[in-house]
Amino acid sequence: MFEDFETDLIHVGEASVFVRYGGEGPPVLLLHGHPRTSATWHRVASRLVERGFTVVCPDLRGYGRSRGPAPTADHAGYSKRAVANDAVAVMSSLGHGRFALAGHDRGGAVALRLALDHHDAVSQVAFMDCLPISEHLSRITERFATQWWHWFFFAQPDTPERVINADPDSWYRGDPRSMGQANHDEWREATRNPAVVRAMLEDYRAGLTIDRRHEEADRAAGVRVRCPTLVLWSLRDDLEDLYGDPVRIWEHWADDVRGHGIDSGHHMAEEAPAEVAASLGAFFGG
């Protein structure tokens, strides 16, 4: 994976962020989702480098080989604001003060926070198979609660750690054929680490508490994403089935929105890398 990419562990205050980066040209930051690591981008990153971009892929705070602070009762150490600040610091340390940005799943929530808090740093942003957390929570139905029950299970204290760590391979199931063997091996090593599991759960606990409050405060204050925005969603997942056209929802948050579906399941960077890279490359290069 990631041929000709460099790796580093960058210390950013209370966190240390493992990062892969390579290529030459305009910088692009790719943020993964749960329960993946930066390796999920391995088939997309190489294609974007071929298109003439510098590509940066960090492990989010606490995920993979990145580490964050000890959890606290308010979950602030794993808020999307804290993780977004990590990303800006990493990009700055690599010499990129302004960059294009894409976030998938939980990485999409980080990308939203980054675009809202650091709008001068983001030239374009792509949100992949995600909505703002507060939009999900304002639309809770029996179907959402049934299909997305893990959000609320993960938010419980202590119990999820005991359940998941008892047999992480059974809880987190992945296919090395679809993921790629090296990506799968890295992901499995991470999910067998209780510290990583705890951090991933803190991500969800922050989502239902401090992150939701941050989003609702921005919405009430009229804070919006100012840069061009691309929305991509998986046609074989449930986002469009649950909510209709995701672009319509993102228009409440961003001034300039376009988007389309990708013929894949949820992990589109692994399942449809050529289409994802073409969509991102065309958008970021436009």
Q: Cite the active site residues.
A: 105, 266
| Residues whose CB falls within 8 Å of the CB of residue 189, separated by 6 or more in sequence, listed in order | none
Compute the distance between CA of residue 191 and CA of residue 37 in angstroms, rounded to an integer: 10
Task: Please report the sign of the dihedral spanned by the C-alpha atoms of residue 144, residue 149, residue 154, residue 155.
Answer: positive
Residue whose C-alpha is closest to residue 125's, from 254, 263, 265? 254
Task: Please report the sign of the dihedral spanned by the C-alpha atoms of residue 22, residue 126, residue 217, residue 106.
Answer: negative
The length of the chain is: 286
Compute the distance between CA of residue 161 and CA of residue 156 in angstroms, rounded to an integer: 9
Residue whose C-alpha is closest to residue 67's, from 11, 5, 114? 11
Q: Residue 15, class by beta-carbon neighbours within 10 Å (0-12 exposed, 13-18 middle, 19+ buried)? A: buried
DSSP state of 254: B
Strands (E), 75-131: 99-104, 122-128
Compute the distance between CA of residue 273 and CA of residue 243 in angstroms, rounded to an integer: 25
Compute the distance between CA of residue 187 and CA of residue 152 in angstroms, rounded to an integer: 23
